Amino acid sequence: MVCLGAGLCAAAQQHGVVRSLERPGHASVGIQGVTINVLEYPNAIVSKKDGKFTFSIEGKRQGDSYTVSRVQKKDSKKEN
């Protein structure tokens, strides 16, 4: 994205976190390597080590809503 001049480009960072479900005796933790697809964003996003992800959508400001269309974690282990 290219912005010409101050204030001419309306896009701000959107932030999120992918976390495991909290269960009795097990705290919720961030999950690394989860692919997140957002309807308004043309590329997939992959969560970082702590489960956090960040992206920008042109025309949106920080805090505006966005729609997550898919969240997927591929298991690196092969089942026999």
Confidence of residue 61 (pLDDT cuts 50, 70, 90): confident
Other C-beta atoms closer than 10 Å to the C-beta of 55 total: 18
pLDDT for res 9: 54
pLDDT for res 10: 59
pLDDT for res 13: 81
**Contact assessment for residue 66 and residue 40, using Cβ atoms and an 8 Å cutoff:** yes
List the chain domain ranges. 13-72
> Model pTM greater than 0.75?
no
> pLDDT tens across 4-57, in order?
444 445 567 888 899 999 999 999 999 999 999 988 888 889 999 999 999 888
Cα separation, 27 vs 70, whole angstroms:
24
User: What is the DSSP code (8-state) at residue 43?
Assistant: S
